Amino acid sequence: MNIEERRFSILDSTNTWAKKNALQLPHDRITLVIADGQTAGRGRFNNSWISPSGLNVYASYCFFLPVHSNISNMAQIMALSAVKALEEVGVRSSLKWPNDILISKKKVGGILCETTALDNEILMIAGIGINVNMPLEMLKEIGQPATSLLIEKGIPFDIQKLIDCLSKQFSNFLTQYLLEGFPPIYSLYREHLIHSPGEKILFRHRDRIWEGLFSSLQQDGSLNLQLASGEIKNFHAGEIINVIN
């Protein structure tokens, strides 16, 4: 799919801009909304996303899909695209289920996928933030262990080059996903997952916290958690709060 870039020096949030401007977005290509900085960057679970200007990637890939399309793995596809794009610029990263991007067990990037229903189509807004040249003092303001490419590698990175790699990877994985679903991408995604069977995890789904052992990643990208009772519980969404060593 062709990608058209819309670049802004500052926005409240690239995802919010896309939602507000849904009616003016083209239907025959992906619109990539990029901002140098965000004043109200949003993360998952109503968290804010710290978005200082000129230091990081803040991007939303926006495109229309038929109403009943299977979009349940979109954030995982985006996360895998980010891992592959980082690989292209010489950085190894891994994935925390379902779509956190980690380096040295610290978060370097996150994804917020949102949809807006319009007549007989849905607008998918796949937003991604990657900490690229963020210095340590700013990373410390984030309420969880976080890192940037600068901190991990000790050198600044070209933000636009990383966006170009990401766009190429995402366009390829998205095309494959829309044609064949998640199964052909499953192995590659699993290869980059940090979790291994038997790992003890604390898991949040909606308002409930579960403790159990990571059992397996299913072919559809969902997670199987083994509870203390032995019961296996399957989750399509949620968050791994903690890995207990």
Residues in the site for ligand BTN, rule: CB under 6 A? 13-15, 38, 41-44, 47, 49, 58-60, 100, 110-112, 127-129
The residue among 42 and 195 lying less far from ligand BTN, judged by its C-beta, is 42
The residue among 19 and 233 lying less far from ligand BTN, judged by its C-beta, is 19
Torsion of CA 25, 19, 238, 201, to 10 degrees: 90
In the complex, least distance from residue 58 CB atom to ligand BTN, rounded to whole angstroms = 4
Q: Which residue is nearest to ligand BTN (CB)?
A: 110
Separation in Å, CA 240 to CA 8, 68, 179: 33, 28, 30
Beta carbons of 199 and 35 less than 8 angstroms apart: no
In the complex, least distance from residue 99 CB atom to ligand BTN, rounded to whole angstroms = 7
Rounded Cα distance, 195 and 217, in Å: 9
The three-point CA angle 183-91-137 to 5° equals 120
In the complex, least distance from residue 232 CB atom to ligand BTN, rounded to whole angstroms = 27
Q: Helices H, strands E: what count in the chain?
A: 6, 12
In the complex, least distance from residue 235 CB atom to ligand BTN, rounded to whole angstroms = 17
The residue among 93 and 215 lying less far from ligand BTN, judged by its C-beta, is 93
In the complex, least distance from residue 53 CB atom to ligand BTN, rounded to whole angstroms = 13
The residue among 46 and 120 lying less far from ligand BTN, judged by its C-beta, is 46
User: Amino acid identity of 49?
Assistant: W
Termini Cα distance of the chain: 43
The residue among 127 and 238 lying less far from ligand BTN, judged by its C-beta, is 127
